[in-house]
Structure 1
Amino acid sequence: MLNVFTLANGRLVQQEIDNAASLADLQPVWVDLESPTPEEKGWIAGRFGLVIPDDVADEDIEESARFYEEDNGELHIRSDFLLEGDDDAEGMTARNVRVAFILRDNVLFSVHAEDLPVFRLLRLRARRTPALIEDAKDVLLKLFDTDAEYSADMLEGIYDSLEEVSTSVLRLNANVTDAVAAEALAAIAREEDLNGRIRRNVMDTRRALSFMMRSRMLNAEQFEDARQILRDIDSLDSHTVFLFDKINFLMDATVGFINLNQSRIIKIFSVAAVALLPPTLIASIYGMNFEHMPELSWRFGYPFSLALMALSVVTPFWYFKRKGWL
């Protein structure tokens, strides 16, 4: 999909592109390519002279080759953007999607394989807010700024999810069964994975902004905007650290409840084994069938032995109950 945006009175205007001819007369500020076809790449090469390789947004690219400047002045940046998964779709989890940016002749080219919420949000804001964007570098900075805001919104979602887990696990008189604990552990694991991806995402954004600031491509106003975005990202780091600590605490608490449930089961077997030991001993003695045992010739000997065995069972349970061991 090829999305071409021009500036009109400080607003982004999306242009309909059906063929190479409709692209020829445009002076775009941003060209967004989502899973571009070979035909669309040909239109870009014919209009702007930019050849986009097939592996431009590969995930396995060397880290040292993610930020560089060509001899002809092209600026290449490869950055990750967060994509929240669909909980209703099997196997869909939050993940980071690699986006390749190429800044050439004051036109920003972005190439990615999936539609990203950060890009949709920026397009919506740029159409409604005047003077938000002045050139291609503003588009890139606003994308990173929106990405930081999106990461902050995701962190708020993690706070809410962990609050629900805390309510179900840590409330007073809570009956934390193994099923409830399993659901809590699954929710905690999902939020831990998402928190880690957010931390990686903001770290990658920080590296991209630092590269832009070092390359001296920004004017004074854009440089200050980049510094403000970096300050916002720094404020997110403390939240991710706090969430990691909270996740570890909830994980330990949930595992502790599972251990308590297992201990209760083991305690039942232990109490039963201790309580049944005296009647087992009595039954063993009477099973020896010695010749000189008064109960053998006594009329009530057999009922007496049964009563003695029952009493030997009740007495330990009464004692354990009194001690609070049951």
Structure 2
Amino acid sequence: MLNVFTLANGRLFQEEIENFEELAGVQPVWVDLEEPTPEEKSWLIGRFGVSIPQNAVDEDLEESARFYEGDNGELHIRSDFLIEDGDTSRNVRVAFILHDNVLFSVHDEDLPVFRLLRLRGRRMPGLIEGAKDVLLKLYDMDAEYSADSLEGIYDALEQVSASVLKADVSDTDAGEALAAIARSEDLNGRIRRNVMDTRRAVSFLMRTRMLNAEQFEDARQIMRDLDSLDSHTAFLFDKINFLMDATVGFININQNKIIRIFSVASVALLPPTLIASIYGMNFEHMPELRWQYGYPFSIALMLATVIAPFWYFRRKGWLK
């Protein structure tokens, strides 16, 4: 899919291109390609002289291939953008090419940050003035999206805290808490990676000296926003570890309760087992052979030896 964005009265106007003639008749500031076909890539070569690399959105690019200047003066940038979809999250690679005041973006799926920029670009006149503004606003909204995701982690961990730090935690509650903690830790790690990648991209733009004074200040503000997110991710990492240790501790306590029951039962049943084994020897002088109440007496004795330990353990509070 190939979408072009032009400026009309200071607003970002979107057009979906279906053939080369439509592309030749527009002067865009942003060309967005989602899963582009070879034909659509050939249109860009014929219209703008820009060639999209075959490995533009590969995940195994070398570090030196993420930010570089092409032979024709175009600027190539590879950045990761976060997608949070319910209980799952992932980072999606996007390839940017800045050439002749036109920004080209290539990605395999639609991104929340891109949708947000399209929406704001239509509603807020003057937000976008050129291709570099589009790129900076994408990074700015990426930082904003990461901050929103961090707020979601805060809310999720508050619910986990309420379920874990209560009087009685069952194994079911602990299992659900561990699953929620694992999801939060995975998302927090992806946010940290996304923040690091965005910081590198914005820093690269600042070093290229291609930004004017206002854009350079916008880039510095983005860097400050990204720096502020680091302390939140570090705090969440510590809180996740605390809740993980607390949940595992409650699981161990529940397991110890089960082991304690078996330990108490084995100790309490040891005396009647001893009595039964002695009476089972059937020696000639044992009372059951000469005394008619011998067997009832042995049964009563075994019951007494069972009740006495349980009464003692209960008094000590070991059965609670």
Would the TM-score normalized by the shorter structure come out above 0.5? Answer: yes
Distance 1:15 1:272 in 2: 77
Determine the structure 2 residue equivalent to 1:170. 165
What is the Cα deviation at residue 72 of structure 1? 2.4
Determine the structure 1 residue equivalent to 2:21. 21
Determine the structure 2 residue equivalent to 1:188. 181
Larger deviation: 185-194 or 292-301?
Answer: 292-301
Alignment of 1:42 with 2:42, yes or no, is yes
What is the Cα deviation at residue 131 of structure 1? 0.8
What is the Cα deviation at residue 53 of structure 1? 2.3
Name stretches of at least 5 consecutive residues in structure 1 with no aligned partner.
88-92
Cα deviation 1:61-100 (Å, max 9, x = unaligned)? 112210011242111100000011244xxxxx21000000
Determine the structure 1 residue equivalent to 2:307. 314
Determine the structure 1 residue equivalent to 2:139. 144
User: Root-mean-square deviation (CA), in Å?
Assistant: 1.1
What is the Cα deviation at residue 15 of structure 1? 2.1
What is the Cα deviation at residue 281 of structure 1? 0.8
Amino acid at match of 2:188: N
Cα deviation 1:104-155 (Å, max 9, x = unaligned)? 0010000000000000000100111111111111100000000000000000
Report how many aligned residue pairs link the two structures: 319
Distance 2:287 2:25 in 1: 118
Match of 1:95 among 86, 90, 93: 90
Determine the structure 1 residue equivalent to 2:271. 278
What is the Cα deviation at residue 292 of structure 1? 2.1
Amino acid at match of 1:211: F
Determine the structure 2 residue equivalent to 1:233. 226
Alignment of 1:134 with 2:134, yes or no, is no
Distance 1:46 1:65 in 2: 25
Distance 1:72 1:294 in 2: 110
Match of 2:115 among 106, 120, 131: 120
Alignment of 1:110 with 2:105, yes or no, is yes
Match of 2:205 among 206, 212, 216: 212
Distance 1:16 1:265 in 2: 65
> 4+ runs of 1 displaced by more than 6 Å?
none
Provide the secondary structure at the position in 1 that maps to 2:28: coil
Distance 2:153 2:268 in 1: 49
Determine the structure 2 residue equivalent to 1:257. 250
Cα deviation 1:248-307 (Å, max 9, x = unaligned)? 111111111111111111111100100000001111111122222345312322111111
Determine the structure 2 residue equivalent to 1:198. 191
Provide the secondary structure at the position in 2 that maps to 1:109: strand
Larger deviation: 2-11 or 103-112?
Answer: 2-11
Distance 1:18 1:116 in 2: 21
Q: How much identity, in percent, do the aligned residues show?
A: 80
Distance 2:27 2:127 in 1: 18
Distance 1:240 1:53 in 2: 34
Determine the structure 2 residue equivalent to 1:65. 65
Distance 2:286 2:60 in 1: 86
Amino acid at match of 1:30: W
What is the Cα deviation at residue 188 of structure 1? 0.8
Amino acid at match of 2:256: S
Provide the secondary structure at the position in 1 that maps to 2:85: coil
Determine the structure 2 residue equivalent to 1:90. none
Q: Using structure 1 for the length normalisation, give the TM-score.
A: 0.95
Amino acid at match of 1:94: S
Provide the secondary structure at the position in 2 that maps to 1:95: strand
Alignment of 1:179 with 2:172, yes or no, is yes
Distance 1:170 1:10 in 2: 53
Amino acid at match of 2:149: M
Alignment of 1:153 with 2:171, yes or no, is no
What is the Cα deviation at residue 167 of structure 1? 1.1
Larger deviation: 258-267 or 112-121?
Answer: 258-267
Amino acid at match of 2:131: A
Q: Using structure 2 for the length normalisation, give the TM-score.
A: 0.97
Cα deviation 1:29-76 (Å, max 9, x = unaligned)? 000001011111111111001111221111111122100112421111
Provide the secondary structure at the position in 2 that maps to 1:94: strand
Larger deviation: 63-72 or 105-114?
Answer: 63-72
Name stretches of at least 5 consecutive residues in structure 2 with no aligned partner.
none
Distance 1:319 1:295 in 2: 30
